[in-house]
């Protein structure tokens, strides 16, 4: 009988961790899965090992897998403390900022890359983690398609060293997979990969960790909100009505009781077109002003407008985010955005301390 990881993970979706009201696969609690012809073994990471529900979860895992594969299989479940591991990996990270969008094609990854770059230019220690597991873009946007991170040993465990470029620490699933190969992963596998990017890397001291999330809402967003201390989220949109309508979905997702992540604000990307030869001209191709109005309706901050210029796409394709340039007018927009994020995080920090 084939004791495949995919079938096992699908079966384990029936095992609920009641304190978080979600299954152990969606929460990314299952790690280090191993199997052979008659044995299955894996770790389950709990917030702490004094949890009274550990025994029930382990027994449920065993009965669920025996129901799926037969009573003759041997199931070994090892409870481990997730809290210490996560705290160790992210102990030096002060703020985690999620960059999201209600739909694809609005330039979310471009905004994330240039925001991270602008923050680094201002002297902050910045990491950019590509959490868009299905469509990683960081390797292309930073000209690192052929690069592979190095590994090191920390306290007897093998850890990944993020690649450093332009003053940023960069990590993406795209560094570990064939860029020509589509990632056909179910949600639990994607969540597991994301947890490894967080916990199996050497981040050290970071002022701002920028997360480039997948578009829409799904397992990745739920894993992040329930497993990590996210400072706040930025929602990126374009002026079109169809894109703005999806902003509400994203804002609602982050505001839900299962996630409860503060919204730092909304950004309007591709706000207007400015030709290089006419830098003072603004052409509102997709409409004007609707995003700002919508942000007011949702009672979330409006963080600013990013113009549509040819240099943004060209710089991303060349591996040098446009925020590095001192000559491009759009650079000022990203610098203003970076200032806004610093201001918002300081406000949240002061609010929580009081």
Tens-digit pLDDT profile for residues 235-259: 998 888 777 777 777 787 787 766 7
- pTM tops 0.85: no
Q: Give me the mean pLDDT over the 306-323 stretch.
A: 78
Q: Report strand pairing: 206-212 vs 126-130.
A: parallel
Contact 256, 221 (CB under 8 A): no
User: What does CATH list as the number for 92-353?
Assistant: 3.40.50.300
Lowest mean pLDDT segment, chosen from 17-26, 60-69, 128-137, 184-193: 184-193
Own/partner contacts of 43-47, CB < 8 Å, gap of 24 or more, are: 43/77, 43/78, 43/79, 43/80, 44/77, 44/78, 44/79, 44/80, 45/80, 45/81, 45/82, 45/85, 46/79, 46/80, 46/81, 46/82, 47/19, 47/81, 47/82, 47/83
Q: What is the pLDDT of residue 257?
A: 67
Tens-digit pLDDT profile for residues 113-161: 999 999 999 999 999 999 887 788 899 999 998 889 998 887 777 889 9
Q: Give me the mean pLDDT over the 23-51 stretch.
A: 86
Q: Which of 339, 40, 92, 82 is nearest to 203 (CA)?
A: 92
Q: Chain centroid to CA 202: how far?
A: 17
Q: 120 — alpha (psi -120 to 50), left (phi > 0) or beta?
A: alpha
Q: 353 pLDDT exceeds 60?
A: no
User: What does CATH list as the number for 5-80?
Assistant: 3.30.300.130
Q: Which of 109, 151, 119 is nearest to 267 (CA)?
A: 109
Q: For the chain, how are helix, strand and coil distributed in percent, rounded to 5? A: 40, 25, 35
Q: What is the pLDDT of residue 354?
A: 53
Residues in the chain: 354
Q: Which tokens is 216 given?
A: 């829409």
| Domain residue limits, the chain | 5-80, 92-353
Q: 178 pLDDT exceeds 80?
A: no
To the nearest whole percent, how much of the chain has pLDDT over 70?
90
328, HSE (Cβ side, Cα atoms, 13 Å):
25
| Cβ count near 223 (within 10 Å) | 25
Tens-digit pLDDT profile for residues 57-89: 999 999 999 999 999 899 999 998 765 555 577
Q: Is 184 helix (H, G, I), strand (E, B) or coil?
A: coil
């Amino acid at each position: 009988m084939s004791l495949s990881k995919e079938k096992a993970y699908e079966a384990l979706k029936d095992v609920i961790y009641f304190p978080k009201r979600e299954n152990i696969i969606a929460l990314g609690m299952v790690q280090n899965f191993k199997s052979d012809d008659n044995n299955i073994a894996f770790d389950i990471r709990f917030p702490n090992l004094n949890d009274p529900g550990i025994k029930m979860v382990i027994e449920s895992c065993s009965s669920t897998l025996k129901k799926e594969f037969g009573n003759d299989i041997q199931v070994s479940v090892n409870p481990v403390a997730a809290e210490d591991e996560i705290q160790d990996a992210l102990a030096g990270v002060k703020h985690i900022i999620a960059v999201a969008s209600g739909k694809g094609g609005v330039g979310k990854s471009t905004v994330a890359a240039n925001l991270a770059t602008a923050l680094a230019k201002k002297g902050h220690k910045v990491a950019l983690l590509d959490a868009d597991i299905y469509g990683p873009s960081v390797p292309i946007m930073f000209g690192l398609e052929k690069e592979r991170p190095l590994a090191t040993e920390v306290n007897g465990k093998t850890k990944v060293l993020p690649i450093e470029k332009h003053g940023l620490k960069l990590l993406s699933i795209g560094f570990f997979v064939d860029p020509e190969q589509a990632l056909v992963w179910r949600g639990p596998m994607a969540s597991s990969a994301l947890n490894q990017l967080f916990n199996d890397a050497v981040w050290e001291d970071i002022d701002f960790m920028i997360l480039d999330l997948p578009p829409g809402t799904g397992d990745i967003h739920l894993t992040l909100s329930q497993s990590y201390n996210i400072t706040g989220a930025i929602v990126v949109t374009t002026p079109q009505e169809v894109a703005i309508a999806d902003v509400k979905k994203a804002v609602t997702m982050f505001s839900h009781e299962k996630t409860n992540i503060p919204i730092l604000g909304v950004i309007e990307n591709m706000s207007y077109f400015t030709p290089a030869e006419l830098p003072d001209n603004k052409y509102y191709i997709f409409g004007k002003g609707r995003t700002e109005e919508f942000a007011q309706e949702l009672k979330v901050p409006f963080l600013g407008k990013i113009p549509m210029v040819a240099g943004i796409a060209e710089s991303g394709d060349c591996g040098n985010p446009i925020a590095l340039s001192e000559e491009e007018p759009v650079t000022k927009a990203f610098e203003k955005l970076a200032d806004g994020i610093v201001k918002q995080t300081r406000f949240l920090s002061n609010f929580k301390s009081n």
